[in-house]
Structure 1
C-alpha cells in the first residue's frame, strides 16, 4: 500500500446501487463486466490488460465520441478484497503501461490513489470512493483541487453508466 499520501484535498463520492454487493464488486474487477460500463459518458473503452488483484494492473484506452481525444489509463491495484474493497493508483500511461503526464495538463498529478469500498445495505450496495494525489507537488495538488468539479462530474457520469449496466443485469 502507498504510504506517501498527502490528503490535504480529496474527492469523495458515495452512491447507492440497487444491486447486490457481489455483483458490484465483479463489475469493478472482471473484464467482462468492467468493459461494458467504465469511463465518462461518451467515452469508449478498449481494455489492453486487466488483472484486478492486489499487485495486478489494468491498462485501458479511452477514446472520445468524436475520436479526437485518445488517452491510456492505468490502475496499479494496491489492495483487492472480495467483495468489499478495491484500492488502486490511477495514472495516465502509454500502451505498455509506463506512467506519463496527463495529455490535458502538465501539472496534473502523476498518480491518484483511489479507495473504493462496498457495503451491503439490505441487498443494495453502498459504494464509497475516495481519491487523492500521491507524491504530488503543491502545484499538482492545486491543479487537482481546481479540476475537482470536472472530475466529480466525470465520476458521476461513470457511476450513472454503472447503474444502467447493473439494472440491465
Structure 2
C-alpha cells in the first residue's frame, strides 16, 4: 500500500458538556461501555479494561447486536496522557479490513474547553486506506450520537 492511498482521519465535534465529563466518558469503563461503538454494535462492560497512564491500556470488545459471533476487539496502549486535555495511543492492526496486520494505527484525542461549558473534541486516527476512511468516520459519528445521549443525562 502506498502512502498516497493511506490517510489520517480528522474529526472535530463539539459536545454540550464540560471537558471533564467528555474526557471521563473515554476513560471510565462504565461510561465507555454505554456509548462506544457504531450503531448496531455494543461493548459489554465486562470486556472493558482501562489503565489511563503512559504505558497503560484501553481494551474492550465491540459485539455486533444482530450477530454476537461478530466481534471487534480493541487493545490500545497510551503514549501520552494529560488529564482532561489529551489522550494519545496506538494499536497494532490485526484482522482490520484493508490494513496489513501489524500496522500501527494511532489515535489522538484533544479535549478543548469551549464557551458555554461545551467541549470541542479533535480526533485524529490513522493511517487508514482511503476506501476505509469513510466507514471509520461514519462509525465515530454514530458512536458520538450515543455519547451525546449519555452526556445529556
Superposed, 1:79-94 pairs within 5 Å as 79-91=80-92
Asked if 1:145 corresponds to 2:130, the answer is: yes
Asked if 1:161 corresponds to 2:146, the answer is: yes
CA 1:125–1:106: 2 relative to 1, 3 Å: closer
Cα pair 2:7 2:133 within 8 Å, conserved: no
The farther-off stretch of 32-41 and 104-113 is 104-113
Equivalent in the alignment of 1:126: 120
The CA distance in 1 between the partners of 2:39 and 2:83, in whole Å, is 27
- Show CA shifts across 1:1-22 (max 9, x none): xxxxx79621100000000001
Equivalent in the alignment of 2:79: 78
Unaligned runs of 5+ in 2: none
Equivalent in the alignment of 1:33: 31
Asked if 1:62 corresponds to 2:62, the answer is: yes
Cα pair 1:73 1:91 within 8 Å, conserved: no
TM-score normalised over the length of structure 2: 0.85
TM-score normalised over the length of structure 1: 0.78
- Show CA shifts across 1:145-164 (max 9, x none): 21111111001111111111
The CA distance in 1 between the partners of 2:36 and 2:18, in whole Å, is 18
Cα pair 1:85 1:115 within 8 Å, conserved: yes
Equivalent in the alignment of 1:13: 11
**Number of positions where the alignment pairs a residue of Structure 1 with one of Structure 2:** 146
SS at match of 1:115: strand
The CA distance in 2 between the partners of 1:56 and 1:152, in whole Å, is 26
